Amino acid sequence: MVECPLCQKQVHSNKINEHLDDGCSSYLVEGDAKDNIPASTSKPQNASHSFFTPGGARKASSSTPRSNALQTATQTVRRPKTPPASGKSSAGQSQTSPGATKRTLEDAEDGQINGEPPSSPPQPKRPKFTKTGVPLKNAPLAERMRPSSFDDVQGQELVDKNGIIRKMLETNSLQSMILWGDPGTGKTTIARIVASASGARYEEINSATHGLPDIRKIFQQAAGEAQLTGRKTVLFCDEIHRYKKDQQDIFLGPIETGQIILIGATTENPSFKVNNAILSRCRTFQLAKLNQNDIVSILRRALEEENCTSALLDTDMLMCFAACADGDARTALNFLSLGISLAEVPNMTSADIKKEMAKTLLYDRKGDKHYDNISALHKSIRGSDPHAAMFYLKRMLNSGEDPLYIGRRLIVVASEDIGLADNTMLPLATATYFACQHVGMPECQINLAHCVTALSLSPKSTRAYRAAMNVERALKEPGVAGLPVPIHLRNAPTRLMKEMGYGAEYKYNPDYVDGRVNQEYLPEELKDRQFLEDSDFGSKVDEDLEDMLLPEIDD
């Protein structure tokens, strides 16, 4: 069965043309018994039996104004069930003529049907069921409050009045896209509104529940829909990054041919997690993290919808929910739902509710924030700020971060940033990692705090690290990587190699006074080249510092 592009009802796929010719009154899958009886048991002589939709229907489907579509998602145009008298055939059977069909569709496009004056388009109604078939009244508050129009989406310039996604719809230039953003920023909501506003058929999949056979089936259905009704299919793929990159190749062909319009959603950086071939065929949009004011606006609207007037859920409490949600509107609405329940408990206070909210995890230790926080810890130690370093350490540990991961990074910091300035920090960092292995949480966080504080307060030197980087750059110069080792430095384990002069002129330093000899160790082409610098730091001056004193450099 397929959906009729005019009456929006389900029709038997092999009877779509007869259904259209009968004024959308017959061959319905669901409806009254009289609706399922064709207007005539005999086939009209001039009826079209083509598998394709008649030209008039396609014209009506494609010429719907995009500005009206954005306001009403899709505007339903119904044909009259009783054909005009002038459309009767010679056998006395009721039949709509092509001319009448064209006039009816043109009147519908102008907002006037059967002579009635055009009326303002109705506002979209909130659905009674979720996409998974759950009654909306039984769904969580976050699902019930999902916006049905762009005007209700908070904090995203991409879909405001001058937003690029809205402009794409208004100009009928919708294309495949990747929506990248933190959880609860509106990726799924935007995808559903885009599909509704464009009038396209909508399919939604999740990488956790849909495999490649399910996706291929959707592609086949999309091809049939396009061939039968000319309507496009918007495929929303949530968490697209969870598909392996070779599995993501399944989308390439349908995107390339326009068989589907893909809207992929990801919380991970698509540069690392999404196939480059897909990125080249899609536009990538980064959704902004919702600020506290955006989330408070969402929570206020939810309170109005729920008719909740509890004094405990005041502005201060809503700000607390927004702060604990960390930019996630879904989490904030879950907090509000819990707050509404707790507000009904006798003797409940605002302090009790806030205490429960503060226990939430502060970041996902497997996402981008995992790397952002460890980077902040490293740079705080490098900047000799023990306060900030301790803050990031405790935030990671409280969010369930692996202490061994932190310990490994501290070993790197000990050599990269402290280095030659204090050689005892590397053994300390190594011992801290050993302590984390054998002590475990929660006690090993004391060992980590000890090491982080010591590293932050230690003098810093990057001489060894910068020397390694200088050599790295030299090896990228043409011919440098292949320079031969000087013959006097080569080992000579065999008679042949000794006869060839390997190691013949090498001077063994311990045999000489103070170990000093006149001997070259670099290849001839790199003679006198220096990689280890004299200073522990670079020579740049921060213009933001006042009365900056340059450090003295020893000769």
pLDDT tens digit sequence for 401-412: 889 999 999 999
Distances (CA, A) of 48 to 84, 106, 302: 19, 21, 52
Asked if pLDDT for residue 512 goes beyond 50, the answer is yes
pLDDT band of residue 297 (cuts 50, 70, 90) is very high
Asked if pLDDT for residue 247 goes beyond 60, the answer is yes
**460, HSE (Cβ side, Cα atoms, 13 Å):** 19
For the CA atoms of 443, 448, 453, 428, the dihedral, rounded to the nearest 10 degrees, stands at 120
- Contacts of 527-536 with C-beta under 8 Å, sequence gap 24+, read 529/474, 531/467, 531/470, 531/471, 531/474, 532/463, 532/464, 532/467, 532/470, 533/463, 533/466, 533/467, 533/470, 535/463, 536/420, 536/421, 536/459, 536/460, 536/461, 536/462, 536/463
Asked if pLDDT for residue 79 goes beyond 80, the answer is no
DSSP state of 432: H
- Amino acid 65: pLDDT: 42
pTM of the model: 0.53
Residue whose C-alpha is closest to residue 519's, from 478, 476, 487, 549: 487
Topology of the domain covering 368-461: Zinc Finger, Delta Prime; domain 3 (1.20.272)
48 and 17 Cβ atoms separated by less than 8 Å: yes
CATH 1.20.272.10-classified regions of the chain: 368-461
419: left (phi over 0), alpha (psi -120 to 50) or beta: left
- Amino acid 366: pLDDT: 58
- 160-187, pLDDT tens digit by residue? 888 899 889 888 888 999 999 888 899 9
- Amino acid 30: pLDDT: 59
Class of domain 156-286: alpha beta
CATH 3.40.50.300-classified regions of the chain: 156-286
Distances (CA, A) of 427 to 129, 414, 455: 61, 9, 12
Helix (H, G, I), strand (E, B) or coil at 365: coil
Asked if pLDDT for residue 103 goes beyond 50, the answer is no
Helix (H, G, I), strand (E, B) or coil at 547: coil
Asked if pLDDT for residue 77 goes beyond 70, the answer is no
Mean pLDDT of 25-40: 56
**87, HSE (Cβ side, Cα atoms, 13 Å):** 23
Asked if pLDDT for residue 430 goes beyond 70, the answer is yes
Residue type, 298: I
Could you tell me the two tokens for 158? 């991409």
pLDDT band of residue 424 (cuts 50, 70, 90) is very high
- Contacts of 120-126 with C-beta under 8 Å, sequence gap 24+, read 121/68, 121/71, 121/72, 121/75, 122/72, 123/71, 123/72, 124/72, 124/73, 124/148, 124/149, 124/196
Residue whose C-alpha is closest to residue 191's, from 240, 236, 254, 241: 236
% the chain with pLDDT above 90: 23
| Distance between CA atoms of residues 552 and 535, nearest Å | 9
